[in-house]
Amino acid sequence: MQILRFDVLDSTNAYAKRNCSLLADQTVIIARQQTAGRGRLDRKWISQEGGLYFSLLLKPQKTDFLPNLTQLMALCVCESLRGLGAESHLKWPNDVLVNSQKICGILSEALFTKNGFVGLVLGVGVNIAQQDLDHVGQPATSLARLQIQTNEDALLQDILNRFFQSYEKLLQYGFETIRGTYLQFFPYIGKTVQIKNAAQEVTGAVQTISPEGKLVLQTPEGFTEISIGDMML
Ligand code: BTN
């Protein structure tokens, strides 16, 4: 695994995508600041100094379980933060929250050429030392706000160690390999939530996360499985 370090980048995801063909499998790109950090659904990810901003570029041979790699990354961040004493939990599909406030977001982007899949970029932003998070469009927190001190490198290493401990198995056998642990940190079973994505808006009671990593909701029309979307309580 190679780590490329930058003081400032536009976006570590954008860098990984621009240079995908030149970069080796399992390259990590980390920046102290991003000038054009991006979140899901075309949102901005304000990236002033003090946060952890990195992208992991993966070029797996087997691509059956790509969406589950994002869930694995969320789980690893959640476990790392718990290791530091933060009572973090997972908000499906891949946000990490503490006290219902967002502390980490993940933007995953798959890259294709005319010959097919060439890489997956897992972009991770963790709020570490930021005190001012008013710009975030939802309740947010940071380790500093929780009175937890850490250094960005130690946290990065811990997250990556956890990720690569489970990576090959997940590639081979899918979400089932991490489902038990994922569910342990997923406190929404039985809660009524609303899911919005490009295709639909559904309200229902959370039943479980399926063996494929999908959210299973009970709606007035019956059970439905959802692969992607924003979950709102
Ligand atoms: C979200 O919750 O909307 C996802 C946020 C992802 C932010 C990270 S920071 C490192 C990487 N580079 C980016 O431009 N975005 C991701």
Percent of the residues in the chain that have a pLDDT greater than 90, as a whole number: 88
The pLDDT assigned to 198 comes to 80
Give the pLDDT mean for 59-72.
Answer: 96
Answer for the pair 49, 27: CB distance below 8 angstroms, yes or no. no
CATH superfamily of 3-184: Bira Bifunctional Protein; Domain 2 (3.30.930.10)
Q: How far is CA 171 from the centre of its chain?
A: 17
Q: Where in the chain is the domain with CATH 2.30.30.100?
A: 192-232
**Helix (H, G, I), strand (E, B), or coil: what is residue 180?**
helix
How high is the pLDDT of residue 202?
93
Residue nearest atom 11 of ligand 1, based on CA coordinates: 123
CA of 104 to the centre of ligand 1 (A): 9
- The answer to whether 129 and 107 are in contact (CB under 8 A) is no
Q: How far is the CA of 167 from the centre of ligand 1 (A)?
A: 21
Q: What is the pTM of this model?
A: 0.97
Question: 144 C-alpha vs ligand 1 centroid, how far in Å?
Answer: 19
Let me know how long the chain is.
233
Distance CA 145, CA 131 (A): 6
Task: Report pLDDT digits (tens) over 124-141.
Answer: 999 999 988 888 888 999
Rg of the chain over all Cα atoms, to the nearest angstrom:
17
Q: How far is the CA of 222 from the centre of ligand 1 (A)?
A: 34
Q: Residues with beta carbon inside 6 Å of ligand 1? A: 11-13, 34, 37-40, 43, 45, 53-55, 105-107, 123-125
User: Is the CATH number of domain 192-232 2.30.30.100?
Assistant: yes
Give the residue among 108, 123, 109, 118 at the shortest CA–CA distance from 21.
Answer: 118
